[in-house]
Every structure is written in structure tokens, then in C-alpha cells.
Amino acid sequence: MTLSQEIEELISAMAENHAKSRYYRRPIVGYASAEDPLYDQLDKIIGNPQIHPRDMLPGARTVIVIFLPYSEIVYNDMKNGLLTSSVYSDAYM
């Protein structure tokens, strides 16, 4: 088993065993260069201050990127065109 497979299995197991796991689907895991020039633009793209990987861990070469998609439970609870719901708020927190 490769290191990336071990990392992905660990992240998936953490999500599956979380008390609120019903709110999420399987995590999507990716990897990026810690020196990617897009990190220098994140403040502008996102609209608030972000921490650059080199400031968090000088010398880092790779960043693990995790996306945790919401399950149908969360989407189905957002009714009548509302932008939020109690289930969404609980899942977000």
C-alpha cells in the first residue's frame, strides 16, 4: 500500500466513524505543491486572509487537500429555496 493510499484510507475512516457521518459522502483527497503560485492569490480569490502553506510549515513540499461533500440528507433538508437549514448548520459545524 502506498503512502497516499494510507492517507486516503485514514481520512475516509475518520469521516465514516464521525458522530455526524450521515451528513457526508466519501471524502475527496488530492495533493498539491506547497509552492503553487495560486496560494499567493487565495486572499483575493476567497475574500479573507488565508495562511500560505510555507507559513504553516516552512520547508513543506506537498499539501494534502481534503473536500468533504455533503450527503443527500443535507441537500434534501434545504427546502423552499432557502440557502441554509438546521441540518446544514449542524453539518457545517
Q: Which three cell numbers stand for residue 19?
A: 458522530
CA-closest candidate to residue 16, choices 5, 3, 31, 26: 26
| Burial (Cβ within 10 Å: 0-12, 13-18, ≥19) of residue 23 | buried
Query: How far is residue 66's CA from residue 26's CA, in Å, rounded to a whole number?
Result: 10
The per-residue pLDDT for range 35-45, each reduced to its tens digit, is 999 999 999 99
Quick one: DSSP state of residue 24? B
pLDDT-derived band at 18 (thresholds 50, 70, 90) equals very high
> What's the mean per-residue pLDDT of the chain?
91
pLDDT at 80: 64
Q: What angle do CA 86, 74, 70 make, to 5 degrees?
A: 125
